[in-house]
């Protein structure tokens, strides 16, 4: 996968999270997977459409999601309810939106679809067989979070 | 009298956050729409002084809703409030009559500034 498609998602994740929850994410390991797959408990899934297309997933444990949502809402949240889910989805939305802006500045005008939250681990999501890069992040005492980016340039249509 | 605002965003979290910012700054939130279609219907029935409009939403996106509202009321004041900050998106919204374009994540001050300017 071309790094010019992945880097906007990494830098957007870092800058948006730092601004929204005042906690700079520390980047951890990066691994490659042949397909989109997540073993996290809470997953925010987006489609990317246009000249660069594919899927992006923000995955984390229920505990991390609850911690992040508490910080975003400004009050402690004790169970992962509708407001918490919405906060996490919106965080993912802001990261994807910012990444789209970077991609657009690089000449690729793609768009994102509204987010879907999938709860439950060991989910294989894509049928598109686009390889995925998984980047780990640590958020101080709030926990860890995983960004899975699976995008490619739109294949040319057959004549 | 407090200015009457209609909030449009598919995310519950964002509606709660915007409502908090607006209420704390003396605005009255008269409606909360979860998609573009609801925003158009609610605009017609509530006649708010200003609308905040997300772009990426199910049913009808914010740009189509902006156009529908402005064709119903050419004087309508709509401020886009979205995570999508691409140049073409901003240009399209401004050409369709949006008064301002706020990119998420935003600081509360940025929202208040836009409202002070356009809901006056």
**Torsion (CA) B58, B62, B68, B71 in degrees, nearest 10:** 180
Q: Is the pTM of this model over 0.90?
A: no
Q: Compute CA A146 distance to the chain's CA centroid, rounded to the nearest angstrom.
A: 7
Chain A residues with CB inside 8 Å of B88's CB? 104, 109
pLDDT in tens, B51-68: 999 998 889 999 999 999
**Domain of residue B17, CATH code:** 3.40.50.2300
What count of residues does chain B have?
120
- In this prediction the ipTM stands at 0.82
Does a structural domain hold residue B69? yes
What count of residues does chain A have?
159
Chain B residues with CB inside 8 Å of A111's CB? 56, 84
Does a structural domain hold residue A158? no
Verify whether the Cβ–Cβ distance A89 to B103 is below 8 Å. no
Does a structural domain hold residue A63? yes
* Strand-strand pairing, A52-60 and A144-153: antiparallel
Which two structure tokens, joined as six digits, stand for B91?
Answer: 């240009």
* Number of domains within chain B: 1
pLDDT of residue B87: 85
Does a structural domain hold residue B92? no
Shortest distance between the Cα of B13 and any Cα of chain A, in A, equals: 5
Using the predicted structure, report yes or no on whether residue A18 has a pLDDT greater than 80: yes
Quickly list DSSP for B51-117: EEE-SS-SSS-HHHHHHHHHHH-TT--EEEEES---HHHHHHHHHTT-SEEEESS--HHHHHHHHHH
Does a structural domain hold residue A159? no
Using the predicted structure, report yes or no on whether residue B80 has a pLDDT greater than 80: yes
The closest CB to that of A87, out of B13, B56, B87, belongs to B13
Degrees, nearest 5: CA angle A71-A74-A75: 100
Does a structural domain hold residue B91? no
Supply the DSSP symbol for A135: E
Please give the residue range of the domain that contains residue A141: 3-153
pLDDT of residue B85: 85
Going by pLDDT thresholds of 50, 70 and 90, the confidence category of residue A157 is low
The closest CB to that of A86, out of B11, B58, B103, belongs to B11
How far apart CA A157 and CA A3 sit, in angstroms, is 24
Q: Which residue has the higher pLDDT, A148 or A113?
A: A148
Verify whether the Cβ–Cβ distance B85 to A20 is below 8 Å. no
Please give the residue range of the domain that contains residue B31: 4-84+100-118
Using the predicted structure, report yes or no on whether residue A154 has a pLDDT greater than 90: no
Does a structural domain hold residue A120? yes
Does a structural domain hold residue B67? yes
Helix residue ranges, H only, A74-149: 82-105
Using the predicted structure, report yes or no on whether residue A159 has a pLDDT greater than 60: no
* Number of domains within chain A: 1
Going by pLDDT thresholds of 50, 70 and 90, the confidence category of residue B11 is very high
**Domain of residue A19, CATH code:** 3.40.1550.10
Does a structural domain hold residue A136? yes
């Amino acid at each position: 996968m071309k790094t010019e498609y992945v880097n906007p998602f990494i830098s957007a994740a870092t800058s948006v999270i730092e601004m929204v929850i005042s906690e700079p994410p520390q980047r951890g390991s990066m691994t490659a997977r042949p397909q989109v797959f997540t073993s996290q408990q809470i997953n925010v899934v987006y489609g990317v459409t246009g000249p660069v297309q594919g899927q992006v997933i923000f995955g984390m444990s229920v505990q991390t999601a609850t911690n992040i949502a508490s910080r975003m809402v400004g009050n402690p949240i004790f169970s992962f309810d509708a407001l918490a889910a919405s906060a996490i989805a919106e965080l993912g939305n802001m990261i994807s939106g910012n990444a789209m802006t970077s991609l657009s500045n690089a000449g690729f005008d793609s768009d994102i679809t509204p987010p879907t939250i999938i709860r439950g681990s060991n989910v294989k999501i894509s049928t598109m067989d686009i390889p995925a890069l998984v980047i780990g992040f640590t958020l101080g005492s709030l926990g860890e979070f995983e960004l899975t980016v699976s995008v490619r340039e739109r294949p040319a249509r057959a004549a | 009298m407090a200015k009457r605002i209609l909030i449009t965003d598919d995310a519950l979290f964002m509606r709660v956050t915007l409502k908090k910012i607006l209420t704390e700054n003396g605005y009255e939130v008269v409606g909360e729409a979860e998609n573009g279609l609801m925003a158009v219907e609610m605009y017609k029935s509530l006649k708010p002084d200003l609308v905040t409009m997300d772009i990426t939403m199910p049913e009808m996106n914010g740009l189509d809703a902006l156009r529908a509202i402005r064709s119903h009321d050419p004087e309508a004041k709509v401020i886009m409030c979205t995570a999508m900050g691409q140049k073409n998106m901003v240009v399209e919204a401004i050409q369709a009559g949006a008064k301002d374009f706020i990119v998420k994540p935003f600081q509360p001050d940025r929202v208040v500034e836009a409202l002070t300017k356009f809901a006056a």
